[in-house]
Amino acid sequence: MRVLVAGATGVVGHPLVGALRARGHQVSALVREESRARAPEADAVVVADALDHEALSAAVSDVRPEVVVHQMSALRLLRDDPPGAFALTARLRTEGTANLVAAARAAGARRLVAQSIAFAAAPTGDPVLDEDAPLYVDAPDPGWASTVRAVAELESQVLSASPELSGLVLRYGTLYGPGTAYARTGGTAQRVLGGKFPLPEGGAGITSFLHVEDAVGAAVAAVESEAIGAFHITDDEPAPAADWLPHFADALGAPPPRTIPAAMAPRLLGWFMAHQLTTAAGASNARAGTELGWKPLRPSWRHGLGEE
Ligand SMILES: NC(=O)c1ccc[n+]([C@@H]2O[C@H](COP(=O)([O-])OP(=O)(O)OC[C@H]3O[C@@H](n4cnc5c(N)ncnc54)[C@H](OP(=O)(O)O)[C@@H]3O)[C@@H](O)[C@H]2O)c1
């Protein structure tokens, strides 16, 4: 199949181009002008900024993809400029997705696969939720509420693109592995190594992790499948912070995280991370198993988190 990967220089997008080619697909990589030198080896490289409607349409129509994959975010900027990273990522999820849907349609693509997140659900009290759980669009933190609203808009645009352009949303769990925040050189690992990532008392918030290799594998499965809808792409072991954080610190060779009163967590960790460690729900991957035929090759974060 002719496949276009948007976000082809990314943590997931870059290895995805190689994985799709290894399956025999003809893959075009969409990159920005300034990132051209980091483009993966591909059957074609096309250049456009996804926020530039005209340029994106021209680039997509040049390669006439049958399937378009959206792996774009600006989260690489998180370390240096968190508000900027979230604001630009929200624009990519809203305007960028609208531009990509329009470009895919105009180029005659029949399928669109897009990256989303598995940790945007409102905490309802159930420890692990499926894809029908409502999103946390009214989160008390305005920044997270606007992130979740952008996620909801991306999902709705992809899933209602048109009868001719079928949509599938990959709601990735918290990524770990090379290039992620949880890699040894990544932002979260560095905070744990520096003793700056305490465990709020109880540590009851649940995280569903996902190794980058499994994110790539699920995207390949989504490209090759006819399934539509949103799917949690997570490992098989949703874990409370009280389990994974001490394990992560130990695997990194960091000191055990100190325990702090839960009420101090938002100030020390920021609202989102405090929520993640104290109240967030995990995500069940059962639907991806039955409807997409995808299962993680790394079913538990216990074998790998903090090791690379
Ligand atoms: N589920 C999760 O935990 C999750 C989800 C997403 C991201 N993250 C974290 O975020 C980091 C990055 O992951 P990622 O794969 O989403 O992002 P990434 O590695 O930063 O890749 C994003 C891709 O989007 C492209 N892009 C950005 N702005 C663009 C624009 N205006 N037009 C076209 N392309 C554009 C980037 O291109 P350039 O190279 O040109 O910038 C890059 O190819 C990791 O640390 C990961 O842990 C985590």
- The CATH number for 24's domain is 3.40.50.720
pLDDT at 207 exceeding the cut of 90: yes
In the prediction, which pLDDT does 161 show? 81
Question: Could you tell me whether strands 67-70 and 166-172 are parallel, antiparallel, or unpaired per DSSP bridges?
Answer: unpaired
Structural domain includes residue 272: no
Distances (CA, A) of 133 to 2, 37, 83, 277, 283: 34, 41, 27, 19, 10
Match 């695997």 to its residue by tokens: 251
306 conformational bin, left if phi > 0, alpha if psi -120 to 50, beta if neither: left
What is the 12 CA–ligand 1 centroid distance (Å)? 8
Residues in the chain: 308
Q: For residue 2, list its beta bridge partners.
A: 26
CB atoms closer than 10 angstroms to residue 52: 15
Q: How many structural domains comprise the chain? A: 1
Structural domain includes residue 30: yes
* DSSP character at residue 287: H
In the prediction, which pLDDT does 61 show? 98
In the prediction, which pLDDT does 58 show? 98
Burial track 235-247 (b if 16+ CB lie within 10 A, e otherwise): bebbbbbbbbbee
pLDDT at 76 exceeding the cut of 90: no
pLDDT at 50 exceeding the cut of 90: yes
Query: Structural domain of residue 109, as residue ranges?
Result: 2-180+208-235+283-292
pLDDT at 259 exceeding the cut of 90: yes
Structural domain includes residue 217: yes
Structural domain includes residue 55: yes
Cα gap 257→197, rounded to integer Å: 6
In the prediction, which pLDDT does 121 show? 98
Distances (CA, A) of 127 to 51, 147, 202: 37, 22, 14
Cα gap 195→187, rounded to integer Å: 13
What is the 78 CA–ligand 1 centroid distance (Å)? 10
For a ligand 1 pocket test, name from 75, 184, 216 the mutation site with the most ligand atoms within 8 angstroms of its C-beta.
75
| 154-169 pLDDT per residue, tens | 999 999 988 899 999 9
What is the 284 CA–ligand 1 centroid distance (Å)? 24
Structural domain includes residue 29: yes
Structural domain includes residue 275: no
Structural domain includes residue 175: yes
In the prediction, which pLDDT does 93 show? 98
Helices (H), 4-115: 13-22, 53-63, 82-91, 97-106
Structural domain includes residue 306: no
